[in-house]
Amino acid sequence: MKENVILGIESSCDDTSAAVIVDGILRSNVIASQKVHEEYGGVVPELASRAHQQNIVPVVDAALRQAGIARGDISAIAFTRGPGLLGSLLVGTSFAKGLALGLDIPLVDVNHLHGHVLSHFIRENADDEVPEFPFLALLISGGNSQIILVKAADDMEILGRTIDDAAGEAFDKCAKVMGLPYPGGPHIDRLAAEGNPKAFMFSKPHIPGLDYSFSGLKTSFLYTVRDGLKTDPDFIDRNRADLAASVQRAIIDTLMQKLEIAVKQTGVRSVAIGGGVSANSGVRQAVGDFCAARGLKAWIPPRKFTTDNAAMVAIAGYFKYLRGETCPLDAAPFARIEI
Ligand code: KG4
């Protein structure tokens, strides 16, 4: 029988990535991260699109080569249709369309958020374990913070979402206040390991239901630093690790408080995390401990599948392809789409 070979393409933000999945098993996952944004303290959309243009051909080429797959062997091309930066999405979308047209094979559009949720189904070996439905997904990235009830690969319900900043934005904005490079999340993670998480207290959100809010925490962090600098010009340097540990603790407490309510409300027995912030050591530990204490199964993804990658796009596309859900060649990308 002919193999199902899916080429996945991801270009929603500042990572150009291509991956190959053969009959559900990952064969390659190539990521070119864009360094050009570092000096600006955030992603510059125009520069991101240009870098995607430069990277896409070599990245796809490398993914096919590493997978040992010829272009003629590809069954379908899965691409991120949104949400993300429109100019960046256009590069991946246009490339995917061109290649699909040239090879006369189907195109499969993938919701980037579905990709993060379904990243737990990426198998590097045939005997790798994958979650059973239903499960709760805590999707925490630079642009989203959501609690999702995942009933099936194509049936997801958002139970809660952020009403302002995402968890990753909270990490990045607080890191910026401390003068740390962009993206600040990984720097806070590293510094937090040496700090006292109870050294500083920040305001806690009081949002009803399962929705999140992180903007109050960010403002309270800003005021703490501003007040500290009034009396001590070296306040940040002197308290770097404690500030990082305390803000990380506050973000994790906020995430876990709503997750606990969601688990109680739904009665599900397993919890998965995904998105860039799920790379955070404190988050991984907290979710692991939370599940262990309640006899729940925790799905903590390998770090390489937490941030944007095409392997998750390819696996989400593989499931859609098996269901016969392909998309027309005139499909346009979306800057914003919900689950
Ligand atoms: O999912 P992702 O790669 O893409 C976007 O949604 O943009 O997530 C990026 C976010 C950034 O905010 C980054 O600071 C955060 O994930 N992040 C982390 C860590 N690694 C990445 N935040 C905290 N700790 C980390 N180790």
How do residues 214-239 score in pLDDT, each as one tens digit? 999 999 999 999 999 999 999 999 99
| Ligand 1 pocket mutation pick from 171, 180, 313 by most atoms within 8 angstroms of CB | 171
Q: Is 279 in the pocket of ligand 1 (CB under 6 A)?
A: yes
Q: Is 186 in the pocket of ligand 1 (CB under 6 A)?
A: yes
- Do 221 and 199 touch, CB atoms closer than 8 A? no
Q: Give the pair of three-digit tokens for residue 34.
A: 């864009």
Position in ligand 1 atom list of the atom nearest CA 308: 3
Nearest CA to ligand 1 atom 21: 276
When the pLDDT of each residue in the chain is averaged and rounded to a whole number, the result is 96
Q: Is 83 in the pocket of ligand 1 (CB under 6 A)?
A: no
Average pLDDT of the residues in 276-297: 98
% of the chain with per-residue pLDDT over 70: 100
Looking at residue 339, what is its pLDDT? 76
| Ligand 1 pocket mutation pick from 38, 88, 140, 141 by most atoms within 8 angstroms of CB | 141
Q: Is 84 in the pocket of ligand 1 (CB under 6 A)?
A: no
> Is the confidence at residue 98, as pLDDT, over 90?
yes
Looking at residue 21, what is its pLDDT? 98
Return the number of other C-beta atoms located less than 10 Å from residue 246's C-beta: 23
Residue count of the chain:
339
Looking at residue 38, what is its pLDDT? 82
Looking at residue 35, what is its pLDDT? 86
Task: Give the model confidence (pLDDT) of 17-30 as tens digits.
Answer: 999 999 999 999 99
Position in ligand 1 atom list of the atom nearest CA 14: 7
Looking at residue 103, what is its pLDDT? 98
Average pLDDT of the residues in 180-202: 96
- Do 147 and 210 touch, CB atoms closer than 8 A? yes
* CA–CA separation, 40 and 21 (whole Å): 35
Q: Is 171 in the pocket of ligand 1 (CB under 6 A)?
A: yes
Return the number of other C-beta atoms located less than 10 Å from residue 89's C-beta: 26
CA of 216 to the centre of ligand 1 (A): 20
Looking at residue 41, what is its pLDDT? 80
Q: Is 88 in the pocket of ligand 1 (CB under 6 A)?
A: no
Position in ligand 1 atom list of the atom nearest CA 275: 1
SS3 (DSSP) at 307:
coil
* CA–CA separation, 98 and 96 (whole Å): 6
What is the 3-class SS of 166-220, one letter each residue? CHHHHHHHHHHHCCCCCCCHHHHHHHHCCCCCCCCCCCCCCCCCCCECCHHHHHH
Q: How many helices (H) and strands (E) does the chain have?
A: 9, 10
Q: Quick one: pLDDT band at residue 40, thresholds 50, 70, 90? A: confident
* Domains parsed from the chain with CATH numbers: 5-128+305-322 (3.30.420.40), 135-302 (3.30.420.40)
Element (H, E) at 221: helix 215-231
Global pTM reads: 0.95
Task: Give the model confidence (pLDDT) of 74-84 as tens digits.
Answer: 999 999 999 99
> Is the confidence at residue 319, as pLDDT, over 80?
yes
Q: Is 13 in the pocket of ligand 1 (CB under 6 A)?
A: yes
* CA–CA separation, 115 and 94 (whole Å): 19
Q: Is the peptide bond before 333 cis (omega within 30 degrees of 0)?
A: no
Q: Is 224 in the pocket of ligand 1 (CB under 6 A)?
A: no
Rounded to 5°, angle at Cα 267 from 265 and 273: 90
Looking at residue 39, what is its pLDDT? 83
CA of 241 to the centre of ligand 1 (A): 19
Task: Give the model confidence (pLDDT) of 101-142 as tens digits.
Answer: 999 999 999 999 999 999 999 999 999 999 999 999 999 998
Higher pLDDT, 35 or 95: 95
Tokens 């998105």 -> residue: 275
CA of 6 to the centre of ligand 1 (A): 26
> Is the confidence at residue 257, as pLDDT, over 90?
yes
> Is the confidence at residue 1, as pLDDT, over 80?
no
CA of 142 to the centre of ligand 1 (A): 5
